[in-house]
Amino acid sequence: MDSKAIRARAQEYVEQEQNESFRSEVEALLKQNNDDELFERFYTDLSFGTGGIRGVMGGGFNRMNPLVIQRTTQGLANYLLEHGIKDQQGRLSVAIAYDSRNNSPLFSSTAAQVLAANGIHVYLFSSLRPTPELSFTIRELGCTSGIVCTASHNPKKYNGYKVYWQDGAQITPPHDAGIISQVKAVNGPVKSMDFQEALDKGLVEYIDADMDNKFVEMVKRQVVRPDMLMKGPHDLKVVYTPLHGTGTMMIERVMNELGISVSIVPEQRDPDGDFPTVEFPNPEEASAMKLALDLARKEDADLVIGTDPDADRVGIAVKSGNDYVLLNGNQHGVLLTDYMYGSMKELGTLPQRPAFINTIVSTDLQRKIAAKYGAEVFETLTGFKWIASKIRELEENNGPRYVMGGEESYGFMIGNEVRDKDSISATVVTIEMALYYQQKGKSLLDRLDEIHGEFGLYQETLISKYFEGANGVGIMNGMMAGLRENPPAEIAGIAVSSVRDIQDGTTLDIQTGSKKKDIDLPSSNVLQFILSDGSIISARPSGTEPKIKFYASVKDEPGKDLDESRKRVQEKIDGIESFIESVIAAAKN
């Protein structure tokens, strides 16, 4: 696309963008003849992926701004008008929430104005709320769809727009493809209604305290041992950080009602879309947890908890001696799985046919623990929309009842009343779990060691690589093609037993060369290499950007000295990481 075409698109944007702040950015770039920046903003449109849109905020068709929100929402409205399921009031309705990011209130009201102009009823929160509350609200009100304005844990310059369906889960086939098609078809001005007029006509309705109360009661229903929590006061010391996000209002309220005292990091307590104390507001990042760990050391806390801006992910650190150990998502999930299924079985509250669900790149240890307590175990593609889809399938077929599940990227879904990652419920159950083991004279790390002693030590690693430049996607695709056509016979000196190809649903036996179709999952560009010692390496490229992730889960046999197991497992991890780095280097050359 040449400079003339880029400037024509920029002028089109200026003519259609009604927000002065975003419009003036592009006007200034045109006056400055800043062709490089104009190219970045207009060489393509910000694409609606399988769950929504996300990008850098600013003026332009390749940026997050009110005009892009309007066009996206018009596409969603067109799809709902044709395929949407009416609510109990006999109308199409959409619930909208937003987090603490800059422009989130503007983007949410912009979406509401478009929906109202299309005759679709909008339930809108008047201030920020956690993403899991949006999922709960859709189900509670029987809405046709839902929207949350958030970029999750991305840096401050980003914002996003995620779409949900009537079951409270992010959109899956066929709705994702249908909405994408409608969004792409939108061109030029869209329908929009004055916000106050929409309120006056009852097309936009605020929902706040009533839904908050119902959400809090739902969270408290996930507690396994309510009597233990309510017996307080307790000695457990907890430090919590919302990382300038939405988590404080719900977590503080729930814990107060349950009688648990939590110290909140003061510098990160209040919502702030600039995230002034962190580079990445992500509890997966050790740097994001620094202030919480500093406060924990000062207060001699037992447990540290952090949630991301829209409060769907949660990370924890546990006191060990005079310092703290950050647990990864797999380890946290292992502890939650063990505590919930084990405790519910002991208390007689486990369903007759319990179900456990996690993703193909999450540790197999969680599935083994759940199976030990009698759960039927299922795996899905990466992403909570697939976990929610499996829950819906089980419900529709009178199958086993879902209890909990999760994925390695610090996301957990406790119970079945929310159909997305829910850090609020997970935080409450994590605090309950820590208190339970404290009363038994143990820490969460002690319990994790006991689990590893029984099942063997499991350890995971993740390597993520971004391929920059115009050839990035081609390099990544070439790497995947090479791994498919010529799979390695061994990795880090360990024989490869089989290769699972999720794209065509087959498993290749390396020794015999035979291939069988035995994978019952939606097609996805994922390869899994199963090693002879039970280790698993997964390769998963992004479908929206030139980035690939390699996941590795390594294990040692049970009954071994844990210190010796850690050495052996780390050696395997080091070897696997070297192999992955060599594959990446070869693809780039």
- Which are the catalytic amino acids? 152
243 forms beta bridges with none
Q: Which two tokens stand for residue 473?
A: 């996607």
C-alpha to C-alpha distance for 129 and 208, rounded to whole angstroms: 9
The enclosing H or E element of 486 equals: none
CA distance 355 to 76: 33
Distances (CA, A) of 566 to 156, 563, 571: 37, 5, 9
- Positive or negative torsion for Cα 355, 360, 361, 363: positive
Segment (H or E) for 361: none
Angle of helix 35-42 relative to helix 3-16, nearest 10 degrees, comes to: 70
447 φ/ψ angles, rounded to the nearest 5 degrees: -65, -35
8-state DSSP, 109 = H
Where would I find the H helices in 259-328?
A: 290-299
- Name the one residue in this structure whose structure tokens are 């404080």: 248
For 162-188, letters b (16+ CB in 10 Å) and e give: bbbbbbbbbbbeebbebbbebbeebee
**Angle at alpha carbon of residue 541, lines to 538 and 547, rounded to 5°:** 125
Tell me the H-state helices in 415-504.
423-439, 444-455, 472-485
- Residue with tokens 């996805």, as numbered in its chain: 524
3 state DSSP class of 436: helix
Q: Tell me the C-alpha distance between 337 and 579, whole Å.
A: 32
For the stretch 465-499, what's the b/e string if a residue is b when 16 or more beta carbons lie within 10 angstroms of its beta carbon?
Answer: bebeeeebeebbbebbeebbeebeeebbebebbbb
Cβ(65)–Cβ(26) below 8 Å: no
- The distance between the two most distant Cα atoms of the chain, rounded to a whole number of Å, is 72
Number of residues that make up the chain = 589
